[in-house]
């Protein structure tokens, strides 16, 4: 479905992604783990077209995304719940969700998806008229994910959904990710909490200083000694 | 490296060919003083052909064969300095056109004294692009440039009295005559503020003249005229500038002296007039004056005040000095919704002889100017004729002394007496001021034209 | 003074006295040195009591000025809100708008009285022209500079401002055409551009200067309201409501808000940020065009430098109200319009009115650093 | 093809100097040749044969300049409205000297540029620029120099032709603006505070000089020379006054965020000239008695008589600043009894301005390297982090504001004495913006860059635009519209083709293009910083 081939990305002169390749199949949840500073967010920004790769290509169902501007990429079915959530603080919850569906024109479809999102996140329905900036962290994360879902994405990019949330909220969020998975949504999940991420994912990739160090089925990675040592905090 | 050499070789040979041409072209041009191609372009430069004329050879120079072949024509250079950018551009262009027209009509291709001297005029700009208005340092540079030029004999300018304060002392030190077609600040030539006018003349000798009357006279006439029109109360507005505020101050003082009640005084910059003329008009009209006096110029948005006053319901007399007596004022005030000129019935004075009394040369000036510069005769900028007149003063002086000597020319210019100029008989007094005190009154008629009207003085 | 002399622990009463004395000293000094500016409470009180209706009259003219300033200010505030850049060229776009409106009205009416419908129609070319011009400028002058520090695009905007002002100034030379061909009637209307490049140019007055209160309250009514004043105020209200509706309810309007709040997130939502920014410039420009027609019809005059003072007041209004906020712009404009009208009435020079406006600006910002209705830009650093 | 021979810097140097040669012509080829030489030397690559290469390229460019200048002298100069070029300027000798200058400076600059020792290189550069700056006014004043008849005692003896295209006036103004740009660079470049009202300090400096070094105040109280304190003393007062104003304006407003600060400073920039303009008839009464008198119904003079008068009342309102009329003349500096500066004699002024500029540059350079300089930059880079490091934000910003204002005060004081005339309209908003443009264009945060920006903008504004205008007019009216220039359309065409009318637009266009081509400034701060460790 989504495929990165040998992608090189730079921040100015800094070589951030040194030729990574990655595949996400339809209906899969794939996770990208790594320590902080490993450049986990960069692939997502590159896929979305916010950063431009200098080399390599990004394909969505065989279609080249590499040269397209971000809004065209969204139109083709890639949406993102970004790091730090980036909620529109002075817009209501409803408006935030509507912005998620910006590239769509089917009003009934949008209404339908909004109902779905509210079913998934009942809290959001309670806060429908409230401004985004006044929500709590967990609610903002829900809103951010809901907003990404409103694009009816073919691939959804989830960046650090657990960041800055209380453990009980993290569990809630990951339950929802599981639910999405069961509904067949294709997800590329970037997460610092490797154990949690691998527990919901089908497959995983490990990114180290801009390069893919490891990849494989999530269960295997969960038991890989080097992953255990480096990312799961188990020293034995 | 090979191509490198080729390029150099080419450049080298090109340079020598061109410089050889340079040697040949310069003398060729001197043989033909006025090239037809150049004279076909009248407006931008007064005497373009003069650029090809080199300075006369000096004894120390190796005599050049071509230069000695023609009779010696000495170059005399005039400089003019006015703001050519921004808001004052229109007035400056008018004056410069006056100079050009005078040189064209009164000399043969710039030659005077039976071809002994060739006059060229260089138009300097004392404004800068960054500022869009006159700039003291630039005016200073212009004056210094003229002072340093041995061929420069007369300095024409400036438009702004402030600029004159910068230029006069510089030119005074080298004894170069300066003549202005537009400065009206009193203190430039006469005692006004403490230290004036001596502080502008470090050598103690007067070098500055002007062909326009100073402000002190006009304000008095305006006040007297209002009294003559039966006005008992007046509101005075000025545009905060040197000219406008100066004339309004004089007018206010005189009005009080002759028993006209001054209802109030407001200073409004041209820019603020754009934003708030309506509220100024409400204030002025609120004091219920019989007349409003506007000391200012058209470009400071005086017309806006008039428009707003009428809108606010003011029906009394509106009067101004010569800064208002411009056709521009009438066009800019526009027409009311039912097609009448807003400016109808407003009064203004101008410090010159009446149009009807203009000498034949003055009337001819208007038609010639109109033909040459494409401006309808009744719309010619007010200062244009002073530009022409000041050039007349300079040319008459040079023709009289026929010497390339600043002191002699200055003396002759200061001694100008009963010169038949386009603004009437022109005499300069010992201060360099025109003795003309003829003021003409104008009123706007229903056709939107300034017509002369006698200035009724109070009994 | 006393405050600093008092030891910090002893004699708290001394401090209290200082607290009272200091403001009194400041007020005394202000009254002392405020006199050259006409700050004399005694005179002001007497004048206000002496003629209260004139203050109401000034309020009306202040309101009419504020109407125009509001519409220009919205252009500044929208652009600032979305790219945080002070678009210096905005005022000159407005100025060219007045020229376009003027040429349209006079050109189409052929020198005879301009009918009201033509004046209303002039909104279309003026708004199209200004909107288009602003969008073109954004595309070619500012877009590539957006990633640079804001000040870089500010300098570019300044350069554009110089260029546009020069264009406006140069328009005046077209008057030489009718002068050169006095027999050609079809170009005579160009004479509306005046005799000199820099001189003010008259707008046709399409509305009569009659007091609309007279038919209702009789001829002795102390207040005077002319149709033009009603016109500008109503037009401004219509434009503000239309814009508010557009931004609140249309897809493009929501996208504009989204980009203003968080461009990165907006891009992730599939919003073409470049296009939306361009659209914002276009709408701001179109509003300047609308303000241009209002200005021409109300003031009856324009000139090449008409942008500067209106631009300055508009930008100040936008900041006082809280930049990036449309209601704030309107509130700021209202404050500035009314304050300058009243201070014109009570002080002796328009210079002092301008100074007063800036003093109030400083005071507002010192006590409420984000403007009256402004809020800190949320997640935006 | 060109790209194979020359590198990027050299191509720019060629293009720039060729353009200058085209519009300048005449004796000014000397200036262009020196400039071309220096640029070539700076652009030379750091290789072993850099010096001979620079010499060769310098020769090539020199020839190009000579060719273009000779084209100017022979062809362009015959178009309408051109300057009269002194005949000596178009001789072969002049061209050869220019060629020599170009090659010489290319070689010298390349040599200095390739010195390995950092200190030596800096000193050599400064020495070269110093010699140039020292020599400039003498040669500039005297373009038709007779080399065989030259002696230093009497410059005019060697001058067969005195320059009438004076560069020195604009260059002095350039120094004044350069000084201001350096001051604003402290505020905007180092501390990152956007100041749109910098002209306020310039005005305060100028008016301090105007009031304390002229008869303006003295005349009010009948002893004219009471307030003529002399240039050398008052310039310190002027700087102090400007600095104090910086404190006064800065203290309440510096906690505002960037753009709000900008608009507040813009307000100050507008208020200061207004106040100066209106202080021409000051009457001050004791407020309480005035209030009582006015409330009692007395107006005007009656109220005045009923209250206690403090300053100049009963009809003699005190004229402090002379309002729109402006103050003039303002006294020039004196060197004891030996020499008094004269208005219009530029050379001594030039050196005072140069010294002022160099000393200020040195001080600012030292300041930047000091503790407070680092604090400024840290605030600009990250206010929060700087605060966390224990830097007092308001105090540090305030220092930047005050010191920046001080340099503007110096500049204003010098300007007032130099032009001998000041009036409120010399302190327009546009000046603040132009100085800001200099800082941004040259490279905000880098003294050399800022000075370069100042010189480029000032030279464009005061010299190049004028020359460009003359050439454009000549070409349009002498070549392009030669046939249209008669007949009814002539007036219209002439007014459209008059390039004077487009100077403002050309200036604007240059600003826009420069921002687009090099938005980070010509010499950005980073480059300078990166070079230092090498």
Answer yes or no: do A186 and A225 share one domain: yes
Answer yes or no: do A62 and A147 share one domain: no
What is the helix (H) or strand (E) element at residue A63, kind and residue range?
Answer: strand A63-64
Confidence bin at B231 (pLDDT 50/70/90) = very high
Answer yes or no: do A64 and A4 share one domain: yes
Whether residue B232 has pLDDT greater than 60: yes
Strand partners, B76: B119
Whether residue C97 has pLDDT greater than 90: yes
Distance from chain centroid for Cα D354: 12
Q: Which of residues 99-138 of C touch B (CB under 8 A)?
A: 113
Minimal Cβ distance to C262: which of A49, A70, A86:
A86
Average pLDDT over residues B103-112: 89
Residue D530, SS3 per DSSP: helix
- C255/C273 Cα distance (integer angstroms): 8
Neighbours of chain A (3+ CB pairs under 8 A): C
Answer yes or no: do A147 and A162 share one domain: no
Answer yes or no: do A233 and A161 share one domain: yes
Q: What is the CATH number of domain B74-213+355-428?
A: 3.40.50.2300
Distance from chain centroid for Cα A130: 25
Structure tokens at C199: 């001189």
Decide which of C178 and C45 is more confident: C45
Average pLDDT over residues B239-259: 91
Answer yes or no: do A72 and A181 share one domain: yes
In B280-423, DSSP assigns E strands to: 291-295, 317-320, 347-350, 419-421
Residue B345 to chain D, least CA–CA distance (Å): 31
Q: Where are the alpha helices (DSSP H) in D185-325?
A: 199-212, 216-220, 231-253, 258-278, 287-295, 300-306
Given this model, what pLDDT does residue B2 score?
A: 43
Residue B420, SS3 per DSSP: strand
Optimal mutation site among D52, D55, D164, interface B, most CBs of chain B within 10 A: D164
Given this model, what pLDDT does residue C378 score?
A: 37
- Yes or no, beta carbons of A82 and C378 under 8 Å apart: no
B453-457, C259-263, C309-313, D410-414 — which one is most confidently predicted on average? D410-414
Specify the residue for token string 């459209």: D496
Whether residue D146 has pLDDT greater than 70: no
Distance from chain centroid for Cα D102: 26
- C74/C113 Cα distance (integer angstroms): 32
Given this model, what pLDDT does residue C12 score?
A: 63
Contact B422, B363 (CB under 8 A): no
Residue C233 to chain D, least CA–CA distance (Å): 27
- Yes or no, beta carbons of C379 and A71 under 8 Å apart: no
- The answer, for C50 touching chain D at a CB cutoff of 8 Å, is no
- D184/D453 Cα distance (integer angstroms): 12
Answer yes or no: do A233 and A159 share one domain: yes
Residue D438 makes CB contacts below 8 A (sequence gap 6+) with D177, D178, D181, D184, D450, D453, D454, D456, D457, D458
Residue C173 has φ and ψ, to the nearest 5°, of -80, -10
A-to-C residue pairs, Cβ atoms closer than 8 angstroms: 79
Q: What per-residue string of b and e applies to D116-138 under the rule 16 or more CB within 10 Å gives b? A: eeeeeeeebbeebeeeebeebbe
Optimal mutation site among D184, D189, D274, interface C, most CBs of chain C within 10 A: D274
Whether residue B36 has pLDDT greater than 80: no
Task: Find the closest chain D residue to C140 by CA distance.
Answer: D516
Confidence bin at B60 (pLDDT 50/70/90) = very low
- In chain C, pLDDT over 70 holds for what percent of residues? 94
- The answer, for C341 touching chain B at a CB cutoff of 8 Å, is yes
Neighbours of chain C (3+ CB pairs under 8 A): A, B, D
Assembly ipTM: 0.85
- Yes or no, beta carbons of B374 and C348 under 8 Å apart: no
* Chains C and D, touching by 3 or more CB pairs within 8 angstroms: yes
Task: Find the closest chain C residue to A46 by CA distance.
Answer: C268
Structure tokens at C309: 């003072």
Listing DSSP states for D343-409 in one string gives: TT-HHHHHHHHHHHHHHHHHHHHHHHHSHHHHHHHHHHH-HHHHHHTT--HHHHHHHHHHHHHHHHH
Mean of the per-residue pLDDT values of chain D: 84
Decide which of A222 and C173 is more confident: A222
- In chain D, pLDDT over 70 holds for what percent of residues? 89
- B402/B49 Cα distance (integer angstroms): 22
Given this model, what pLDDT does residue B13 score?
A: 45
For residue C217, CA distances in Å to A106, B315, C220, C223 come to 57, 21, 8, 10
- D350/D343 Cα distance (integer angstroms): 12
Distance from chain centroid for Cα D329: 22
Residue D422, SS3 per DSSP: strand
Average pLDDT over residues A180-189: 92
Structure tokens at B127: 């404004």
Given this model, what pLDDT does residue D23 score?
A: 87
Residue B51 to chain D, least CA–CA distance (Å): 5
Residue B297 makes CB contacts below 8 A (sequence gap 6+) with B239, B241, B243, B244, B323, B324, B326
CA dihedral B190, B191, B192, B196 (to 10 degrees): 100
Minimal Cβ distance to D63: which of B11, B136, B149:
B11
Answer yes or no: do A70 and A159 share one domain: yes
Average pLDDT over residues B406-425: 90
Structure tokens at B315: 């029906």
Q: What is the pLDDT of residues A116-141, one digit of tens each?
A: 999 999 999 999 999 988 999 889 99
β-strand pairing of A203-208 with B261-267: unpaired
- D327/C192 Cα distance (integer angstroms): 40
Answer yes or no: do A234 and A159 share one domain: yes
Q: Which of residues 338-377 of C touch A (CB under 8 A)?
A: 375
Listing DSSP states for C271-323 in one string gives: --HHHHHHHHHHHHHHHHHHHHHHHHHHH-EE-TTHHHHHHHHHHHHHHHH-T
- Yes or no, beta carbons of C226 and B311 under 8 Å apart: yes
- The answer, for D160 touching chain B at a CB cutoff of 8 Å, is yes
Minimal Cβ distance to D326: which of B3, B4, B162:
B162
Whether residue C380 has pLDDT greater than 50: no
Given this model, what pLDDT does residue C3 score?
A: 45
Confidence bin at B61 (pLDDT 50/70/90) = very low
- The answer, for B131 touching chain C at a CB cutoff of 8 Å, is no
- A103/A153 Cα distance (integer angstroms): 11
What is the helix (H) or strand (E) element at residue A215, kind and residue range?
Answer: strand A211-217
Total number of domains in chain A: 2
Answer yes or no: do A220 and A106 share one domain: no
Residue C163 makes CB contacts below 8 A (sequence gap 6+) with D504, D505, D508, D509, D512
Given this model, what pLDDT does residue B255 score?
A: 95
Average pLDDT over residues B83-107: 87
Q: What is the pLDDT of residues D444-487, one digit of tens each?
A: 888 989 999 999 888 888 888 888 888 888 888 788 777 665 66
Confidence bin at D1 (pLDDT 50/70/90) = low
Residue D361 to chain C, least CA–CA distance (Å): 24
Given this model, what pLDDT does residue D503 score?
A: 79
β-strand pairing of D334-335 with B208-210: unpaired
Measured between beta carbons, the chain B residues lying within 8 angstroms of D486 are: 40
Given this model, what pLDDT does residue B28 score?
A: 36
Task: Find the closest chain C residue to A104 by CA distance.
Answer: C270
Structure tokens at B457: 């003085």
- Yes or no, beta carbons of B11 and D64 under 8 Å apart: yes
Minimal Cβ distance to C61: which of B93, B278, B332:
B278
Given this model, what pLDDT does residue B63 score?
A: 41
Ramachandran category for residue A221: left, alpha or beta (phi over 0 → left; psi -120 to 50 → alpha): alpha
Where do the domains of chain D lie? 1-165, 171-431
Decide which of A169 and B375 is more confident: A169
Candidate from B411-415, C43-47, C285-289 with smallest mean pLDDT = C43-47
- Yes or no, beta carbons of B332 and C205 under 8 Å apart: no
Mean of the per-residue pLDDT values of chain A: 89
- B399/B296 Cα distance (integer angstroms): 38
Q: Which of residues 219-278 of C touch D (CB under 8 A)?
A: none
Average pLDDT over residues A73-87: 89
Candidate from B440-454, C8-22, D70-84 with smallest mean pLDDT = C8-22
Where do the domains of chain B lie? 74-213+355-428, 216-350+442-453
Whether residue C197 has pLDDT greater than 50: yes
- Yes or no, beta carbons of B129 and D164 under 8 Å apart: no
Candidate from B4-18, B67-81, C99-113, D138-152 with smallest mean pLDDT = B4-18
Measured between beta carbons, the chain C residues lying within 8 angstroms of A79 are: 268-270
Given this model, what pLDDT does residue C62 score?
A: 95
Domains B74-213+355-428 and B216-350+442-453 share a fold: yes
What is the helix (H) or strand (E) element at residue D9, kind and residue range?
Answer: helix D8-24
Given this model, what pLDDT does residue A188 score?
A: 94
Given this model, what pLDDT does residue D2 score?
A: 66
Residue B96 to chain C, least CA–CA distance (Å): 14
Confidence bin at B27 (pLDDT 50/70/90) = very low
Given this model, what pLDDT does residue A205 score?
A: 92
Dihedral angle sign, alpha carbons of residues D19, D21, D24, D30: positive
Given this model, what pLDDT does residue A234 score?
A: 61
Confidence bin at C331 (pLDDT 50/70/90) = very high
Whether residue A167 has pLDDT greater than 60: yes
- The answer, for C61 touching chain B at a CB cutoff of 8 Å, is yes
Residue A70, SS3 per DSSP: helix
Contact D217, D227 (CB under 8 A): yes
Average pLDDT over residues A20-32: 92
- B252/B248 Cα distance (integer angstroms): 6
Given this model, what pLDDT does residue A146 score?
A: 93
Decide which of D12 and D343 is more confident: D12
Residue A133 belongs to domain spanning: 86-152
Q: Which of residues 203-242 of C touch B (CB under 8 A)?
A: 203-209, 211, 224, 226, 228
Nearest CA to D286 among C42, C345, C353?
Answer: C42
- B212/B184 Cα distance (integer angstroms): 7
Whether residue B14 has pLDDT greater than 70: no
Contact B98, B386 (CB under 8 A): yes
Whether residue D164 has pLDDT greater than 80: no
Average pLDDT over residues B142-155: 87
- The answer, for C84 touching chain D at a CB cutoff of 8 Å, is yes
Average pLDDT over residues B106-121: 89
Whether residue D130 has pLDDT greater than 50: yes
Given this model, what pLDDT does residue D329 score?
A: 86
Measured between beta carbons, the chain B residues lying within 8 angstroms of C155 are: none
- B349/B399 Cα distance (integer angstroms): 34
Nearest CA to C191 among B91, B448, B337?
Answer: B448
Contact D474, D481 (CB under 8 A): no
Q: What is the CATH number of domain B216-350+442-453?
A: 3.40.50.2300
Given this model, what pLDDT does residue C176 score?
A: 75
Average pLDDT over residues A199-207: 91
Minimal Cβ distance to A50: which of C254, C267, C379:
C267
Whether residue D76 has pLDDT greater than 50: yes
Nearest CA to B92 among C169, D379, C142?
Answer: C169
Structure tokens at D195: 């100041």
Average pLDDT over residues A32-60: 87
Mean of the per-residue pLDDT values of chain B: 81
- A73/C124 Cα distance (integer angstroms): 36
Whether residue D219 has pLDDT greater than 70: yes
Answer yes or no: do A158 and A230 share one domain: yes
β-strand pairing of A29-33 with A203-208: parallel
- Domains of chain C with bracketed CATH: 55-179+191-212+227-367 (1.10.3470)
We report the CATH number of the domain holding residue A185 as 3.40.50.300
Domain termination site, one of A107, A128, A152 = A152
Measured between beta carbons, the chain D residues lying within 8 angstroms of B41 are: 80, 477-478, 482, 485, 494
β-strand pairing of A29-33 with A53-60: unpaired
End-to-end CA distance of chain D: 33
Residue B63 has φ and ψ, to the nearest 5°, of -60, 135
Confidence bin at C4 (pLDDT 50/70/90) = very low
Answer yes or no: do A28 and A130 share one domain: no
Task: Find the closest chain C residue to A47 by CA distance.
Answer: C268
Mean of the per-residue pLDDT values of chain C: 87
Whether residue D158 has pLDDT greater than 70: no
Optimal mutation site among D318, D516, D517, interface C, most CBs of chain C within 10 A: D516
């Amino acid at each position: 479905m989504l495929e990165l081939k040998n992608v090189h990305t730079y921040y100015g002169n800094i070589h951030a992604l040194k030729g990574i390749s990655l595949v996400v199949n339809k209906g899969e949840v794939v996770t990208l783990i790594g320590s902080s500073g490993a450049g986990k967010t960069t692939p997502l920004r590159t896929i979305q077209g916010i950063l431009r790769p200098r080399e390599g290509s990004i394909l969505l169902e065989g279609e080249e995304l590499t040269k397209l501007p971000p809004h065209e990429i969204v139109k083709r079915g890639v949406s993102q719940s970004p790091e730090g959530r980036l909620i529109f603080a002075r817009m209501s919850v409803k408006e935030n969700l509507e912005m998620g569906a910006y590239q769509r024109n089917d009003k009934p479809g949008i209404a339908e998806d909004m109902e779905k999102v509210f079913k998934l996140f009942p809290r959001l329905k309670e806060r429908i008229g409230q401004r985004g900036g006044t929500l709590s962290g967990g609610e903002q994360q829900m809103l951010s994910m809901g907003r990404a879902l409103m694009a009816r994405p073919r691939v959804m990019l989830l960046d650090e959904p657990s960041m800055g949330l209380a453990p009980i909220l993290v569990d809630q969020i990951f339950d929802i990710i599981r639910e999405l998975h069961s509904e067949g949504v294709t997800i590329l999940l970037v997460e610092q909490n490797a154990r949690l991420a691998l527990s919901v994912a089908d497959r995983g990739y490990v990114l180290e200083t801009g390069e893919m160090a490891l990849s494989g089925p999530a269960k295997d990675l969960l038991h890989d000694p080097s992953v255990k040592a480096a990312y799961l905090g188990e020293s034995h | 490296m090979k191509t490198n050499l080729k390029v150099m070789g080419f450049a080298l040979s090109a340079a020598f060919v061109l410089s050889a041409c340079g040697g040949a072209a310069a003398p060729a041009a001197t043989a033909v003083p006025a090239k037809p191609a150049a004279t076909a372009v009248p407006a931008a430069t007064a005497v373009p052909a003069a650029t090809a004329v080199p300075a006369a050879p000096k004894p120390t120079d190796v005599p050049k064969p071509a230069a000695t072949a023609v009779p010696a024509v000495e170059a005399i250079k005039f400089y003019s300095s006015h703001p050519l950018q921004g808001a004052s551009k229109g007035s400056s262009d008018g004056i410069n056109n006056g100079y050009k027209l005078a040189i064209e009509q009164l000399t043969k291709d710039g030659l005077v004294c039976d071809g002994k001297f060739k006059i060229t005029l260089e138009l300097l700009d004392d404004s800068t692009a960054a500022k869009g208005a006159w700039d003291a340092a630039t005016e200073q540079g212009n004056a210094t440039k003229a002072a340093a030029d041995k061929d420069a004999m007369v300095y024409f300018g400036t438009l702004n009295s402030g600029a004159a304060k910068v230029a006069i002392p510089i030119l005074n030190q080298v004894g170069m005559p300066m003549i202005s077609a537009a400065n009206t600040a009193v203190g430039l030539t006469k005692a006004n503020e403490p230290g004036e006018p001596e502080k502008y003349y470090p050598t103690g000798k007067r070098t500055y003249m002007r062909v326009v009357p100073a402000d002190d006279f006009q304000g008095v006439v305006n006040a007297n005229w209002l009294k003559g029109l039966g006005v008992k109360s007046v509101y005075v507005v000025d545009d905060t500038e040197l000219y406008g505020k100066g004339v309004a101050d004089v007018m206010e003082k005189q009005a009080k002296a002759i028993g006209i009640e001054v209802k109030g005084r407001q200073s409004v910059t041209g820019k603020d007039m754009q934003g708030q003329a309506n509220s100024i008009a409400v204030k002025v009209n609120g004091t219920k004056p019989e007349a409003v006096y506007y000391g200012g110029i058209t470009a400071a948005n005086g017309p806006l005040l008039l428009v707003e006053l009428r809108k606010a319901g003011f029906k009394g007399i509106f009067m101004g000095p010569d800064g208002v007596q411009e056709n521009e004022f009438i066009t800019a005030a526009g027409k009311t919704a039912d097609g009448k000129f807003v400016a109808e019935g407003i009064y203004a004075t101008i410090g010159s002889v009446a149009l009807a009394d203009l000498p034949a040369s003055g009337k001819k000036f208007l038609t010639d100017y109109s033909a040459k510069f494409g401006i309808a005769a009744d719309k010619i900028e007010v200062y244009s004729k002073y530009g022409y007149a000041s050039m007349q003063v300079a040319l008459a002086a040079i023709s009289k002394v026929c010497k390339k000597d600043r002191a002699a020319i200055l003396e002759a210019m200061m001694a100008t007496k009963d010169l038949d100029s386009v603004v009437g008989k022109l005499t300069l007094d010992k201060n360099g001021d025109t003795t003309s005190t003829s003021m003409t009154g104008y009123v706007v008629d229903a056709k939107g034209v300034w017509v002369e009207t006698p200035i009724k003085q109070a009994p | 003074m006393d405050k600093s002399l008092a030891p910090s622990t002893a004699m708290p009463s001394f401090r209290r006295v200082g607290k009272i004395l200091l403001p009194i000293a400041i007020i005394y000094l202000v009254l002392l040195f405020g006199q050259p500016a006409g700050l004399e409470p005694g005179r002001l009180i007497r004048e206000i009591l002496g003629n209260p209706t004139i203050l109401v009259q000034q309020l009306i003219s202040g309101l009419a000025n504020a109407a125009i300033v509001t519409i220009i200010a919205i252009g500044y505030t929208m652009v600032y809100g979305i790219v945080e850049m002070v678009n210096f060229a905005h005022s000159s776009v407005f100025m060219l708008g007045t020229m376009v409106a003027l040429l349209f009205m006079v050109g189409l009416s052929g020198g005879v009285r301009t009918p009201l419908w033509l004046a209303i129609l002039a909104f279309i070319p003026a708004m199209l022209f200004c909107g288009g011009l602003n969008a073109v400028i954004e595309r070619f002058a500012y877009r590539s500079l957006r990633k640079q520090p804001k000040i870089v695009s500010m300098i570019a905007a300044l350069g554009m401002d110089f260029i546009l002002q020069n264009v406006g100034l140069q328009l005046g030379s077209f008057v030489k055409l009718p002068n050169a061909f006095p027999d050609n009637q079809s170009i005579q209307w160009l004479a509306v551009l005046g005799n000199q490049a820099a001189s003010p140019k008259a707008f046709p007055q399409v509305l009569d200067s009659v007091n609309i209160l007279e038919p209702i309250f009789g001829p002795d009514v102390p207040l005077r309201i002319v149709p033009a004043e009603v016109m500008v105020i109503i037009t401004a209200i219509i434009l503000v409501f239309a814009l508010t509706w557009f931004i609140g309810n249309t897809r493009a309007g929501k996208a504009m808000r989204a980009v203003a709040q968080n461009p990165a997130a907006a891009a992730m939502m599939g919003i073409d940020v470049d296009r939306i920014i361009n659209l914002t410039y276009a709408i701001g420009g179109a509003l300047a065009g609308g303000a241009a027609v209002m200005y021409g019809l109300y003031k009856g005059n324009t000139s090449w430098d008409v942008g500067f003072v209106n631009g300055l007041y508009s930008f100040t209004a936008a900041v006082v109200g809280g930049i990036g906020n449309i209601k704030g712009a309107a509130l700021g404009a209202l404050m500035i319009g009314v304050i300058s009208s009243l201070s014109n009435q009570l002080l002796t020079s328009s210079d002092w009115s301008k100074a007063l406006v800036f003093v109030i600006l400083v005071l507002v910002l010192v006590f409420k650093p984000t403007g009256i209705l402004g809020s800190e830009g949320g997640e935006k650093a | 093809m060109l790209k194979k021979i020359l590198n990027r810097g050299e191509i720019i140097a060629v293009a720039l100097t060729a353009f200058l040669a085209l519009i300048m012509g005449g004796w000014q080829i000397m200036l262009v040749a020196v400039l071309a030489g220096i640029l070539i030397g700076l652009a030379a690559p750091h290789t072993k044969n850099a010096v001979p290469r620079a010499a060769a390229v310098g020769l090539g460019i020199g020839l190009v300049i000579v060719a273009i200048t000779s084209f100017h002298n022979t062809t362009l100069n015959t178009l309408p409205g051109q300057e009269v070029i002194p005949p000596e300027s178009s001789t072969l000798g002049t061209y050869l000297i220019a060629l020599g200058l170009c090659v010489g400076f290319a070689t010298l600059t390349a040599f200095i540029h390739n010195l390995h020792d950092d200190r030596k290189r800096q000193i050599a550069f400064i020495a070269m620029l110093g010699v140039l700056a020292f020599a400039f006014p003498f040669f500039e004043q005297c373009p038709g120099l007779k080399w065989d008849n030259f002696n230093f005692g009497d410059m005019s003896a060697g001058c067969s032709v005195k320059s009438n295209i004076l560069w020195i006036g604009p260059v002095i103004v350039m120094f004044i603006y350069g000084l201001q740009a350096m001051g604003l660079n402290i505020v905007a470049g180092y501390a990152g505070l956007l100041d749109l009202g910098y002209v306020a300090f310039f005005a305060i400096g100028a008016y301090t000089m105007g009031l304390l070094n002229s008869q303006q105040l003295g005349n009010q109280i009948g002893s004219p020379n009471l307030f003529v304190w002399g240039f050398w003393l008052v310039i310190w007062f002027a700087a102090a006054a400007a600095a104090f104003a910086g404190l006064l304006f800065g203290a309440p407003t510096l906690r505002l965020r960037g753009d709000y600060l900008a608009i507040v400073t813009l307000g100050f920039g507008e208020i200061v000239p207004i106040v100066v303009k209106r202080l021409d008839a000051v009457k001050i009464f004791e407020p309480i008695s005035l209030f009582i008198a006015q409330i009692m119904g007395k107006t005007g003079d009656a109220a005045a008589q009923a209250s206690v008068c403090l300053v100049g009342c009963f009809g003699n309102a005190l004229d402090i600043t002379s309002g729109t009329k402006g103050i003039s003349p303002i006294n020039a500096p004196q060197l004891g009894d030996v020499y008094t500066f004269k208005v219009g004699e530029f050379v001594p002024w030039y050196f005072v301005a140069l010294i002022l500029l160099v000393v200020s540059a040195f001080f600012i350079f030292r300041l930047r390297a000091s503790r407070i300089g680092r604090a400024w930059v840290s605030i600009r880079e990250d206010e929060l982090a700087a605060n966390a490091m224990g830097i007092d934000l308001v105090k540090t910003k305030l220092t930047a504001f005050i010191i920046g204002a001080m340099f503007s005060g110096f500049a204003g004081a010098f300007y007032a004495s130099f032009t001998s005339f000041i009036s409120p309209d010399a302190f327009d908003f546009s000046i603040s913006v132009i100085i800001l443009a200099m800082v941004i264009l040259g490279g905000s945060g880098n003294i050399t860059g800022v000075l370069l920006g100042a010189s480029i903008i000032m030279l464009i504004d005061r010299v190049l635009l004028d020359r460009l205008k003359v050439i454009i007019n000549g070409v349009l009216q002498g070549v392009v519209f030669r046939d249209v220039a008669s007949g009814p359309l002539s007036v219209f065409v002439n007014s459209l083709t008059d390039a004077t009318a487009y100077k403002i637009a050309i200036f604007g266009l240059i600003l826009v293009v420069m921002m687009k081509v090099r938005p980070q400034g010509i010499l950005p701060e980073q480059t300078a910083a990166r070079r230092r460790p090498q």
